[in-house]
Amino acid sequence: MKRLALVLPAVGLMTFSLMATLTADEQKAESPIDISRCRIQLIDHVILASDRPGILEFVEPEEGDTVESGQMIAKLKDDVAKASFDTAAKRAENDVQIRYAKKAREVAEAELKMAVQTNDKLPNTVPLIEIERLRLAEEKGRLQIEQAEVEHLIAGLTSDEAKAQLETYSVDAPFTGKVTRVYKKRGEAVRQGDPILELVSTRRVKVEGYINIEHVWSVKPGTPVEVRLDIPDRDLPQEKRTFKGHISFVDVKVQPVTRQCRVWAEVVNEDNILRMGLNARMQIMPRKTVAKAK
């Protein structure tokens, strides 16, 4: 009994020690993770090109200009395509054949009904072959309506196709940003895929770094981060600014030599402080999770 009394406190002490160790490990796993030498890159950075060959009618913005999302920034000469679309659109609006087919069927139905009623009052007044001819005319009227409706539908699809073709003559901005380079000018010939201008947005940036293997399982998309510029051999006021964001990507691979995993965060770039090509420090807070921005 005395031996049992000595064993119980020892077991309790071991349990307490194990719980304390687990708690310490959990706190370590959930403590902020600091990453240095992170690279700053742009997320919204595209080179806009022509979807078809042609001659540029205009290229509106110049280098340094800001354009809005959806704004037409370049267009090829499209006189022929526009004429084709106008013709197709007019045909799609025309429903004369449908209205005519419906009227013709109404007449055929009336003639058949009158003939049947006549024979009901005076049998065999209208020959049977005439009745069948009238029935065929009524059926023909119904089929003509269907045919006219199909042709009207095809005309509408042809109009849509012509409109889609016409839209390929213009180049629109996919997002609000600044033009950093113009490759083509008005009057120049372009082939399909030829670059016309470069568009970037610094509203948000991608900050990429590497975390050690022990943090891989505690960092996931949506984990909030804080970022600061880290410029060697400089002491700039911009380095004291803190920018908030969240983890958007955690690589599924671990580097075999360094045992590190690549991650990157999407960060809101206030006042355009974070510039592509600079380095930054990133602090990840694994305890929190935010909804990933769309």
- Contact indicator for 294, 239 with CB cutoff of 8 Å: no
* Whole-structure pTM value: 0.66
pLDDT in tens, 197-225: 999 999 999 999 999 999 999 999 999 99
Secondary element (H or E) of residue 85: helix 79-93
- Is residue 28 pLDDT above 60, yes or no? no
- Contact indicator for 40, 274 with CB cutoff of 8 Å: yes
The domains of the chain are located at 46-75+171-198, 81-167
- Contact indicator for 243, 292 with CB cutoff of 8 Å: no
- Is residue 93 pLDDT above 50, yes or no? yes
Is CATH 2.40.50.100 the right assignment for the domain spanning 46-75+171-198?
yes
Closest CA relative to residue 67, chosen from 189, 208, 174, 223: 174
pLDDT higher at 55 or 20? 55
